[in-house]
């Protein structure tokens, strides 16, 4: 069960998300000023978070006004919102919840049903929700379910989570057995239906074999660079290069796996991984997939305690990754203008406005058009 499924099933979106020793949250006072030129570039850009969500502990609707206010304030055009749970029925129910969320506040949210909806979300200043999977457990061995979920507007599907599944081995599976026969059939079916194939949590052989088998670009919606920090959730240079050579995009996340424990990830770590990915993949194949939220995470003793309980449960279930001992986000970027801060950092590193705009969302926008079709 992936992290978001664990949180949904426990009905504690917020309360199960943080605990760490107080010094892990200690930050120097960074310069958070956004230059006017970057602010204007950001305002005009299509901004895509290739893996994200919101804090909503109760799943009640409508959302609390503060959640909506912060989400809108971030200026994100569209997010890949994980809706996959362990079973077919639970996944359908959660898709219905996300649809109801959008219906409850159509002034601020919309479901992305086709490629042109990304432009519509930008034009109407709404947040487009792209429904996505981080696991294929809900499909079972029934490949017809891929089309069923495609008709329910799921446009992104990750083949495996961390461990072994029916479709292939995840990045924590020591056997590293690669893509299964069923997985190969699923890749072909997803290609035919215009479903984006996500390989973020896939093992090395599964990643390589899925890239080779796919006739369309594949995505690493939320990952890091193994050469910057050697962690099984991060992708090696040869994986990044193979993905880019086929037209795909990697979304650099804001997760702890950017840097060795016990350090909490900060903007400089995100920028290190972005810089490395840009050098390996090229400017047309790098984006952002925070694996976080559009609003912000609270930091209270209660949530820290709950985070410890969540980590213990994930370890007991065998789904926790190494170094999963820090909050699953960057305290330094726990603010709504986080992506503008990253854009500012890229500018300071010497990247042009064109490259920054590609990283903010134009690369994923292009890839979705190639995978989904541009209707």
Peptide bond into 21 cis (omega under 30): no
Domain assignments of the chain as residue spans, ordered by start: 3-18+35-372
Bridge partners (DSSP) listed for residue 133: 157
Q: Is 154 exposed, middle or buried (0-12, 13-18, 19+ CB in 10 A)?
A: buried
pLDDT in tens, the chain (375 residues): 565 554 444 333 333 333 333 333 344 457 899 999 999 999 999 999 999 999 887 788 999 999 999 999 999 999 999 999 999 999 999 999 999 999 999 999 999 999 999 999 999 999 999 999 999 999 999 999 999 999 999 999 999 999 999 999 999 999 999 999 999 999 999 999 999 999 999 999 999 999 999 999 999 999 999 999 999 999 999 999 999 999 999 999 999 999 999 999 999 999 999 999 999 999 999 999 999 999 998 888 887 787 788 888 888 888 888 998 888 889 999 999 999 999 999 999 999 999 999 999 999 999 999 999 997
Please give the helix or strand (H or E) that residue 78 lies within, else none. strand 78-82
Helix (H/G/I), strand (E/B), else coil: 16? coil
Cα dihedral: 8, 140, 111, 338 (round 10): 50
Indicate the pTM of the whole model.
0.92
Name, in order, each residue with C-beta under 8 angstroms of 337's C-beta and a sequence gap of 6 or more: 32, 34, 73, 74
User: Which residues, including other chains, have CB under 8 Å from residue 192's CB and lie 6 or more apart?
Assistant: none
Q: Which CATH architecture has domain 3-18+35-372?
A: Alpha-Beta Barrel (3.20)
| Tokens coding 347 | 């500018």
How far, in Å, CA of 186 to CA of 339, rounded? 34
The vertex-293 CA angle with 291 and 296, nearest 5°, equals 135
């Amino acid at each position: 069960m992936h992290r978001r499924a664990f949180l949904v099933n426990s009905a504690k979106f917020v309360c199960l998300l943080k605990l760490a020793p107080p010094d892990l949250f200690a930050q120097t006072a960074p310069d958070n000023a956004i230059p006017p030129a970057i602010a204007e570039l950001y305002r005009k850009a299509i901004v895509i978070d290739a893996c994200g969500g919101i804090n909503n502990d109760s799943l009640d609707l409508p959302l609390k006004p503060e959640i909506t206010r912060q989400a809108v304030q971030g200026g994100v055009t569209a997010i890949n919102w994980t809706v996959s749970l362990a079973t077919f029925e639970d996944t359908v129910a959660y898709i219905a919840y996300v649809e109801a969320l959008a219906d409850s506040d159509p002034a601020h949210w919309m479901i992305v049903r086709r490629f042109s909806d990304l432009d519509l979300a930008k034009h109407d200043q709404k947040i487009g929700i792209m429904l996505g999977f981080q696991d294929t457990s809900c499909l079972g061995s029934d490949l017809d379910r891929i089309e069923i979920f495609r008709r329910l507007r799921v446009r992104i599907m990750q083949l495996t989570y961390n461990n072994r599944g029916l479709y292939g081995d995840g990045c924590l599976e020591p056997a590293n057995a690669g893509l299964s026969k069923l997985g190969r059939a699923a890749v072909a079916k997803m290609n035919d239906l215009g479903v984006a194939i996500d390989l973020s949590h896939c093992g090395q052989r599964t990643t390589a074999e899925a890239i080779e088998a796919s006739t369309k670009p594949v995505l690493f919606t939320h990952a890091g660079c193994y050469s910057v920090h050697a962690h099984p959730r991060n992708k090696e240079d040869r994986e990044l290069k193979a993905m880019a050579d086929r037209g795909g995009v990697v979304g650099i996340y804001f997760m702890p796996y950017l840097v060795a424990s016990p350090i909490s990830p900060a903007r400089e770590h995100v920028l290190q991984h972005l810089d490395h990915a840009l050098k390996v993949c090229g400017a047309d194949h790098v984006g952002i997939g925070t694996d976080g939220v559009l609003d912000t995470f609270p930091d209270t003793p209660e949530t820290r305690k709950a985070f410890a309980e969540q980590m213990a449960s994930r370890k007991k279930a065998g789904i926790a990754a190494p170094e999963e001992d820090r909050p699953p986000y960057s305290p330094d970027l726990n603010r709504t203008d986080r992506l503008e801060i990253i854009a500012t950092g890229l500018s300071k590193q010497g990247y042009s406005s064109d490259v920054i705009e590609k990283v903010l969302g134009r690369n994923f926008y292009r890839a979705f058009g190639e995978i989904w079709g541009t209707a």
